[in-house]
Structure 1
Amino acid sequence: MARTRTSGPARTDGRVVRGNQTRRLILARTVEIASVEGLEGLSLGRLASELELSKSGVFALFGSKEELQLATVRAAVKIYVEHVLRPMEELPAGIARVWHLCTGWLAYSEGRVFPGGCFFYSASAEFGARSGKVHDALADARADWLAYVGQTIEEARTAGELRADTDVPQLAFEIHSFLEAANSESVLLDDFSCYRRAAKAVHARLHAAATDPELLPELSTAKV
């Protein structure tokens, strides 16, 4: 009995560890597929075949295609945070932080962290006119990102580095539009010069709103 009590939890823990490892392996592949082929391109059978796993094992981890799609969105959010938001944590509030957030996003898209460009741009286009849990998850992710951009701009305005009359939601919208336009054009036309043009557009917009343009890093500091 003593051996049974000792070995039982060990076996359970081992299964949990293996299950978590398999889940990470699957999601690393699903974010790649979805960024190129869309979330509808995911299937439990395809993943089992590509990753040489049992279909029943993949089904046990996710249960349905919708749950697989939702897990993929959550995995993509984590990757996005690590590449776009995490590098901003140590930067002080101000116009330079806004600038580096924008150029960091452009570098994320140009560097093809996701093979198909920005995961959320393509997935949002795919599910934008639909309803349901996947649509809601993508809408929440987009709203969170836009809120972060707006907050970063507002902090720069509060710090006195952007004009007091700056229309923060409008500026956030314009900047976001420049970034997404570069992503879209680069994916469709395989033309990466658009990233430099987007950086130039963002820089000009921030320069016009700055209380002291010298606080804005030079365009040459763009990561693209």
Structure 2
Amino acid sequence: MSLLRPVCKLCLSVRSVREITRSLRLAIATALEGTPGPVFLELPIDVLYPYSIVCRELAPQASHRPASRPPSLSQRMVTWYLKRHLNNLFAGAWTSRPLGPLPLSRPLAHPRDLDTSAAILDKAQRPLLLLGSQVMLPPTTAVKLRDAIEQLGFPCYLGGMARGLLGRSNVLHIRHNRRAALRQADAIVLAGNAPPHQPHHSFPPSLNIGPPSLPPSWSPLHCHRHSISLTQRIHS
């Protein structure tokens, strides 16, 4: 469990049958909430088998001990512990519990941040969009996101699950010379991607890079506030 905590948003271990439903709902909600990420849920074998099988394996059998020999103190203690563990394992297991998904808290951009972003993009001469996998998540649908990108008219790079968002022949979709485009852009919208931890490795300041290769038919459109709002409402 300690090995998984640094790379998972949540690590849980189910201790009884009654905790399975609650733990599953919490794990799914945690994986989807905020920035999506992996979760780890441990289900011991005791909570996965029916009561009759677990009881047969845990409860001591009287036939295994001669009738003339009374149980020793240690045997009575082991029997008491196993029965207590069995009762706690299945206590409340047959109680009806809610099965629906938990409500999710999805972070949205503050209106003040949207206004600031709109002002920056409105003045940008060489804007660029970098879209990753998480732009495909709710609440913004892929169709609305595609329409917003086309209305903005900014060239973009698509990665991960966002590949194919604009189709095969869209003039806004750039596939090559990404480093050059990033060096020349004066405003970059990073959505659904994690920023590089060491940007100087990707964009060395001493590297002399020519202008990016953009489609000849590309021309920036006027930035509409509605489109920027749609583009900004992405979990990253």
Answer 1 or 2: which has greater strand percent: 2
Higher Rg of the two aligned structures: 2
Report the structure, 1 or 2, having the larger helix content.
1
- The alignment's TM-score, normalised by the length of structure 1, stands at 0.24
